[in-house]
């Protein structure tokens, strides 16, 4: 990833943590507690969210692998989906698959542990769809929107909180604006056109805010990639 994008994402992350560190935040079901003076104590729910979004961010490596060999990258993603699916089958039957089951258990939301956790599957499918349907740079923008836009929006919403958007399943204005800002920075860096990046970021924010559950891992890259394709390539 270009150094400029890395620095920009790091800066946004530091702002999120700084804002969270200056006040107590208490959410429903005690999902997170933040204390002053640099002491941060988080609940199990928040730790799970951090692990979940850390996995989410790993999908940002896909465009770089694809630039070397897109076929091998697609095979890796498909194999990963199949392995995870098998691991989930074992977990639901009281058995373990090395490493994958432990990570899944650690990242799972409290209410998801007794069902098949779909997130990693849709994450892989979303990245594959972007590579399959869109040429560069639309494919990279779509995958980065999924990795960074969706990932940081969730963390910002959990850590900072604020006003919730009605009919979105509890998503916050802070989270949505974070998604817009991150995607705008990435799209501007890749396309070199701030006006185009603004439209792409707006589309990502609208798609992210929809109450689509784990399907947002497919909807965000598919929709954002389509907008980027129309604006930058067609």
Question: Given this model, what pLDDT does residue 55 score?
Answer: 86
> Do you know the residue count of the chain?
234
- Residue 101 CB-density burial (10 A; 0-12 exposed, 13-18 middle, 19+ buried): middle
The Cα 57–Cα 1 span in angstroms is 13
Q: Is the pLDDT of residue 53 over 90?
A: no
The Cα 209–Cα 207 span in angstroms is 6
The Cα 145–Cα 194 span in angstroms is 16
Q: Is the pLDDT of residue 157 over 60?
A: yes
Q: Which of 55, 42, 9 is nearest to 179 (CA)?
A: 9
What pLDDT digit, counting tens, does each position of 6-33 carry? 445 445 555 544 554 434 343 444 445 4
Query: 166: helix, coil or strand?
Result: coil
- Helix axis angle for 173-191 and 194-209, nearest 10°, is 150
What pLDDT digit, counting tens, does each position of 165-206 carry? 888 878 889 999 999 999 999 999 999 999 999 999 999 999
Per-residue confidence band for 124, with pLDDT thresholds at 50, 70 and 90: very high
Query: 162: helix, coil or strand?
Result: coil
What pLDDT digit, counting tens, does each position of 57-116 carry? 999 999 999 999 999 999 999 999 999 999 999 998 989 998 888 888 888 777 777 889
Taking the CA atoms of 137, 142, 145 and 147 in sequence, report the sign of the dihedral they define.
Answer: negative
The Cα 112–Cα 125 span in angstroms is 20
Residues 59, 147: contact at Cβ < 8 Å?
Answer: yes
- What domain range includes position 39? 3-232
Question: Given this model, what pLDDT does residue 234 score?
Answer: 66
- How many domains does the chain divide into? 1
């Amino acid at each position: 990833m270009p150094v400029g994008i890395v620095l920009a994402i790091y800066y946004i992350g530091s702002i999120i943590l700084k804002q969270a560190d200056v006040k107590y935040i208490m959410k429903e079901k005690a999902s997170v507690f933040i204390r002053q003076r640099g002491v941060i104590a988080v609940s199990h729910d928040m730790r799970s969210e951090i692990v979940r979004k850390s996995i989410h961010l790993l999908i940002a490596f896909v465009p770089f692998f694809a630039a070397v060999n897109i076929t091998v990258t697609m095979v890796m993603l498909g194999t990963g989906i199949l392995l995870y699916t098998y691991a989930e089958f074992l977990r639901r039957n009281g058995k373990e698959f090395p490493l994958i089951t432990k990570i899944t258990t650690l990242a799972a939301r409290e209410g998801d542990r007794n069902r098949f956790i779909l997130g990693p599957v849709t994450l892989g499918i979303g990245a594959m769809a972007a590579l399959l349907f869109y040429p560069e740079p639309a494919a990279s923008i779509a995958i980065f929107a999924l990795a960074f836009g969706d990932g940081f929006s969730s963390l910002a919403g959990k850590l900072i909180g604020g006003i919730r958007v009605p009919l979105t399943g509890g998503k916050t204005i802070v989270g949505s604006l974070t998604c817009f800002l991150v995607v705008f920075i990435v799209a501007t860096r890749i396309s070199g056109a701030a006006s185009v990046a603004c439209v792409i970021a707006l589309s990502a924010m609208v798609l992210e805010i929809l109450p689509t559950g784990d399907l947002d891992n497919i909807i965000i890259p598919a929709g954002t990639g389509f907008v980027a394709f129309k604006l930058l390539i067609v």
